[in-house]
Chains A and B, each alone.
Chain A
Amino acid sequence: MRRPLIALAGALLLLAPLSACTDNGDDQAASKGGSSGKLEVTSTADECELSTDEAPSGNLQFAVTNDGDEVTEFYLLGDDGLRIVGEVENIGPGLTRDLVVQAPPGDYFTACKPGMVGEGIRAPFTVTDSGEDLEQSGEVQDLIDTATAQYAAYVRDQTDQLVTKTQEFADLYVAGDDDAARDLYAPARVHWERVEPVAESFGDLDPRLDLREADLEEGQEWTGWHRIEKDLWPPAEGEEGAPYTAATDEERQELADQLVADTEELHERVADLEYGPDQLGNGAKELLDEVATGKVTGEEEAWSHTDLWDFQANVDGARIAFEDLRPVLDEKDPDLADTLETRFDELQELLDQYKEGEDGFVLYTELTEDQVRELADAVNALSEPLSQLTAAVVL
């Protein structure tokens, strides 16, 4: 619901030809073996002091300390002084942030930019040949570009289908054809749940479309899918959420119109979005978070109990992100790729047990505690390695 912080910031990070930069302190240097330890950089108003001006090729980790009063940045630039090989921005005064970058042998420049403007304070930096075998950087970048383009197409396609099915659903609801509306509710939402992190990144749309009753503030107006869900599956007397007054025809029209309008708005905004590989990786992780916190607990679909449809859809979305990134991952960390494939398959096998009809599922309330527990374990088993996906791809 509120994830835009990093996802969008990630989109603005420059992707260097060698590898994307990160200001995430990491042990990649140590784990890759044979690369140098941390290189220390001290940035002040007038100086950019490095502990050394030379390092062996491989993963380089710079620890940049801001000893000045202004926000500073650090860059590793190519031999032309222009190409950004890696950068770490937004270092507040007094803080130390890390930059991990993969560098083949060659001549470079380092630059500190206190105040974030100008040419910066530069010095030559040499990367010697450590004998380590580095992958072809250009190829990886192509693979990344393909992956993100494919994912963008997937998101657009899902929102296309969402618009169509939402209109159909809205029409049934307004016409009072409740049985048909109930049948279409979960299949329509599948297209939302598959791309939920993207949808959620729009902080104004998501509350209008997907808030549960428990997410409301006192006095807040409730609209969207779950509002309609409660109307189609009203609680009986004595049940939680009762007493409940059914929506009038006028209210139905309003809710349906708003649902359609907000979905079309989403569709428009998604049309031009571009993604970085970290957003694919983080999006996959967030989809599994959604499962862990709402669907495996049955809290998402409080009235219809169609949580397993959502569960499957979240897994679908995560799987697509993984599959799109697979060629990159096979280059960088084939073991992780294999682990993820195994875990996805295992989770899917469990979910398949609960399928009903062509694309449907049993209701969440039909699961036993043991079955829910089994699903939860499989979700955890997949989520842990999945959380490594972003780092594996961008570092």
Chain B
Amino acid sequence: MSDDPRDPAAGGAVDSVGGTVHEPSDAAAPSRFSRRRALGLAGAGVAAAGAVAVGGFAVARDDDAPAERVAAGHGAIPFRGRHQAGIVTPAQDRLHFASFDVTATSRDELVDLLQRWTAAAARMTRGEGAGPFGAVDGPYPAPPDDTGEALGLPPSGLTLTFGFGPTLFTTAEGDDRFGLAGSRPAGLIDLPHFPGDNLDPLRSGGDLCVQACANDPQVAVHAIRNLARIAFGSASIRWSQLGFGRTSSTSTQQVTARNLFGFKDGTANLKAEDPDAVARHVWVHRDDDPDARWLADGSFLVARRISMRIETWDRTSLQEQEAIIGRDKGEGAPLSGGTEFTPLDLDVEGGTGPLIPMRAHVRLTHPSQNDGVELLRRGYNFTDGSDGLGRLDAGLFFLAYVRDPVTQYVPMQNKIARDDVLSEYLQHTGSALYAVPPGVQDAGGFLGETLLG
């Protein structure tokens, strides 16, 4: 199933390794193993069943790539695989996220868009231009088929992850534009109003989404820009969000980053190195929804723009900040003791009640308090200028991948919106839910072909 990446005509990368789960049958050919070993990935254990590559160090785009280029963050993440990349891929540092309204009126046009996007995505994640010519190698009378700002930049760990919103299947008025209404997954609901929501409809919803993550913001922006250009005539950008710093680790190899409250964020996240948990909580299984088997090996993406009231938070005493979160600020250890990765002890008592207060964030979100629910989070810090009231418009662009939003996201969000003291410092200002199709595996395939092919 794998193509030799040295052959430009093959047009494809090796089957996806960076951060995806492998079945034994996906075992790769020996030539790739030796290259990977040469790049110092011998310890990655990719041959074992269910093993996952760490650090996103996939094969570099071309054989001449010096070893340094594949060093932390510069390398390419293969686009193809059983699952889309950018989910369990170790969270890159930057985000550009875009939601689109489809303006195409026929199913054929929609398929054509997805095919063109697939081809462009495969190229850009290899560090190439969006089109076959590239930014400067096309004919002079024609506009370049790539916009050029990523020229000379390494692939930078770029992943492009695509999703389908509820309105692609049925519009708000109930129209079935593309004959897809019968295939709408049961989990692709209209999210309810949660307590305290102040959603801007212009920052919510969308027929299609693209999550571009990379370690260089220019690469992420370049990708969205070129996909938007390719989409002219078939889809238009509804809203987009830049994220400047990751807040979640999706691999145990990553240092936990801090969110804009100054606290480590993502300590207790689902990690790529636990493929059983990922399979249980993230990947849709074939039998989850008989009317939507096309989504098998895909997932659901909850995207919530969470504005943070950083000014009032910054005035809150250190003691209260720690009590609200349930961890100490410096190390990120639970207040029940230990170090950052020590599991929470929700029962240990101090002199005045449990060490982790009853309404602390980490208690209310703990799986034991939510019927065992876990989410794979990979959100990003954002700051979008100011709010006109002398305050920064800053917060967390929350991204979470789940197998079933109805059981995994809705009850927990209701609970924390209602009970979590942290919610006093938050306001959800944008919201969207998408079904994320499985990965593209064949050279001629396209995203969404299990639904539309």
Which A residues are within 8 Å of any B CB, using their own CB?
Answer: 1-3, 5-6, 9, 12, 22-25, 66, 71, 73, 89-90, 92-95, 116, 214-218, 282, 285, 289, 292-293, 296-297, 299, 369, 372-373, 376-377, 380, 383-384, 386-387, 390-391
Q: How far is the CB of A379 from chain B (nearest CB, A)?
A: 9
Known: A5-B421, A217-B195, A217-B417. A25 touches B339 (CB 8 A): no
A387, B194: Cβ atoms under 8 Å? no
Question: Looking at chain B's contact residues, is the secondary structure mostly helix, strand, loop, or mixed?
Answer: loop
Cβ of B192: which chain A residues have Cβ within 8 Å of it?
Answer: 218
A24, B196: Cβ atoms under 8 Å? no
B197, A214: Cβ atoms under 8 Å? yes
Task: Report which residue of A116, A285, A289 has the largest number of chain B beta carbons within 10 angstroms of its beta carbon.
Answer: A289
Cβ of B316: which chain A residues have Cβ within 8 Å of it?
Answer: 285, 387
**Partner pick for B339 among A5, A94, A299, CB 8 A cutoff:** A94
**Partner pick for B335 among A22, A95, A218, A297, CB 8 A cutoff:** A95
CA distance A6 to B324 in the complex (A): 9
Known: A5-B324, A71-B348, A92-B335. A293 touches B312 (CB 8 A): yes
CA distance A49 to B336 in the complex (A): 22
Known: A6-B317, A373-B388. A217 touches B311 (CB 8 A): no
Cβ of A25: which chain B residues have Cβ within 8 Å of it?
Answer: 318
Please provide the 5 A-B residue pairs with the shortest distance between their CB atoms, ordered closest to farther. A92-B337, A90-B350, A387-B315, A93-B337, A376-B389
B315, A289: Cβ atoms under 8 Å? yes
Q: How many A-B residue pairs have CB under 8 A?
A: 127
Known: A23-B319, A92-B334, A296-B389. A383 touches B350 (CB 8 A): no
**Partner pick for A282 among B196, B317, B323, B420, CB 8 A cutoff:** B317
What 1/0 flags go to B278-313 for Cβ under 8 Å of A? 000000000000000000000000000000010110
A22, B419: Cβ atoms under 8 Å? no
What are 13 A-B interface contacts by the 8 Å CB criterion? A5-B323, A6-B317, A12-B352, A24-B318, A71-B355, A92-B348, A94-B337, A95-B331, A215-B196, A293-B309, A296-B389, A387-B315, A391-B317
Q: How far is the CB of A393 from chain B (nearest CB, A)?
A: 12
CB nearest to A23 among chain B residues:
B319
Q: How far is the CB of B384 from chain A (nearest CB, A)?
A: 17
Q: Does B173 touch A at the CB level, under 8 Å? A: no
Q: Does B351 touch A at the CB level, under 8 Å? A: yes
CA distance A383 to B318 in the complex (A): 16
B320, A383: Cβ atoms under 8 Å? no
B389, A285: Cβ atoms under 8 Å? no
Q: Does B276 touch A at the CB level, under 8 Å? A: no
CA distance A84 to B87 in the complex (A): 54
CA distance A55 to B286 in the complex (A): 69
**Partner pick for A3 among B193, B337, B355, B421, CB 8 A cutoff:** B421
What 1/0 flags go to B364-384 for Cβ under 8 Å of A? 000000000000000000000
CA distance A218 to B334 in the complex (A): 32
Cβ of B317: which chain A residues have Cβ within 8 Å of it?
Answer: 6, 24, 282, 387, 390-391
CA distance A9 to B352 in the complex (A): 7
CA distance A73 to B351 in the complex (A): 9
A289, B389: Cβ atoms under 8 Å? no
A2, B311: Cβ atoms under 8 Å? no
A94, B342: Cβ atoms under 8 Å? yes
Q: Does B390 touch A at the CB level, under 8 Å? A: yes
Known: A2-B359, A2-B419, A5-B359. A380 touches B311 (CB 8 A): yes
Cβ of B338: which chain A residues have Cβ within 8 Å of it?
Answer: 92-95
Cβ of B334: which chain A residues have Cβ within 8 Å of it?
Answer: 92
CA distance A282 to B320 in the complex (A): 10
CA distance A231 to B194 in the complex (A): 23
Q: How far is the CB of A318 from chain B (nearest CB, A)?
A: 12
Q: How far is the CB of A24 from chain B (nearest CB, A)?
A: 5
Cβ of B315: which chain A residues have Cβ within 8 Å of it?
Answer: 285, 289, 383-384, 386-387
Q: How far is the CB of B198 from chain A (nearest CB, A)?
A: 6
What 1/0 flags go to B320-332 for Cβ under 8 Å of A? 1001100010010
Q: Does B414 touch A at the CB level, under 8 Å? A: yes
Chain B 405-420 residues near chain A, CB threshold 8 A: 414, 417-420
What 1/0 flags go to B197-235 for Cβ under 8 Å of A? 110000000000000000000000000000000000000
Q: Does B23 touch A at the CB level, under 8 Å? A: no
Cβ of B391: which chain A residues have Cβ within 8 Å of it?
Answer: 376, 380
CB nearest to A377 among chain B residues:
B390
Q: How far is the CB of A335 from chain B (nearest CB, A)?
A: 18
Known contacts A92-B335, A217-B414, A373-B389, then 13 further A-B pairs from the complex at CB < 8 Å, ordered by chain A residue: A2-B423, A6-B317, A12-B352, A24-B317, A71-B355, A92-B334, A92-B350, A92-B355, A95-B338, A215-B196, A373-B388, A386-B315, A390-B317
